[in-house]
């Protein structure tokens, strides 16, 4: 997948959008924890990734952000998307228990609890229009598209642009400019 030219300030725009979302998430004075931040990232990925029309069964389908396995988010994911839309679609948060159910998702967070099944699951979703996201060390090496990783106490992202291309997803150059390339 070819990267488009990065415009000056594009990365700053994304950082500002994420920062504003984080400030809102912690507006009540409580500190923002790792999974609150990751929930905000999941919502923001929806703004910087393009899904083809076949990713939805109908024009009225909601935009589905799903979690497979034990959810580490608590209420953070629901809080991050409450009242928001993606391309005029309402957002639905779903807990899924199988790869078959995951095929109806636009974004799928694969919990570390699914580690033993991860390779097969990611292979089954390889050509589906699903942005797979995880935070296990070998996530992108096993075929995942986006990996969260902690570095110097901060959440960083790693993106496998080739895996995104196989899933027919176009990731904005603004998001790619903030990510590290996947290491296999």
Q: Which is more confident, 132 or 18? A: 132
CATH says 10-181 is which class? alpha beta
Phi and psi at 81, nearest 5°, equal: -110, -5
Residue ranges per domain, the chain?
10-181
Question: What would the mean pLDDT of 75-81 be, rounded to a whole number?
Answer: 96
Contact 135, 12 (CB under 8 A): no
Q: If we measure between CA atoms, which residue out of 65, 66, 90, 78 comes closest to residue 25?
A: 78
pTM of the model: 0.84
Report in angstroms the alpha-carbon separations of 50 from 1, 104, 155, 166: 13, 16, 23, 13
Residue 12's pLDDT band (cuts 50, 70, 90): very low
Q: Which residue, 96, 92, 127, is CA-closest to 109?
A: 96
Q: Which residue has the higher pLDDT, 3 or 96?
A: 96
DSSP type of residue 98: S
pLDDT per residue over 111-134, tens digit each? 999 999 999 999 999 889 999 999
Q: What is the CB-side half-sphere exposure of residue 45 using CA atoms within 13 A?
A: 28
Is the CA virtual torsion 71, 72, 75, 78 positive or negative? negative
């Amino acid at each position: 997948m070819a990267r488009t030219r990065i415009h000056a300030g594009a990365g700053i725009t994304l950082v500002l959008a994420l920062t504003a979302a984080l400030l809102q998430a912690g507006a009540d004075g409580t500190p923002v924890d790792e999974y609150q931040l990751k929930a905000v990232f999941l919502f923001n990925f929806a703004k910087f990734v393009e899904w083809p029309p076949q990713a939805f069964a109908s024009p009225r389908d909601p935009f589905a952000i799903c979690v497979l396995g034990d959810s580490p988010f608590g209420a953070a994911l629901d809080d991050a998307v409450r009242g928001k839309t993606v391309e005029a679609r309402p957002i639905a948060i779903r807990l899924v228990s199988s790869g078959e159910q995951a095929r109806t998702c636009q974004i799928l967070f694969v919990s570390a609890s699914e580690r033993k099944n991860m390779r097969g699951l990611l292979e089954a979703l390889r050509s589906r229009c699903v942005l797979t996201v995880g935070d296990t060390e070998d996530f992108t090496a096993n075929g995942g598209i986006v990996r969260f990783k902690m570095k110097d106490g901060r959440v960083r992202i790693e993106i496998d642009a080739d895996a995104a291309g196989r899933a027919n997803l176009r990731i904005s150059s603004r998001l790619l400019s903030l990510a590290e390339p996947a290491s296999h």
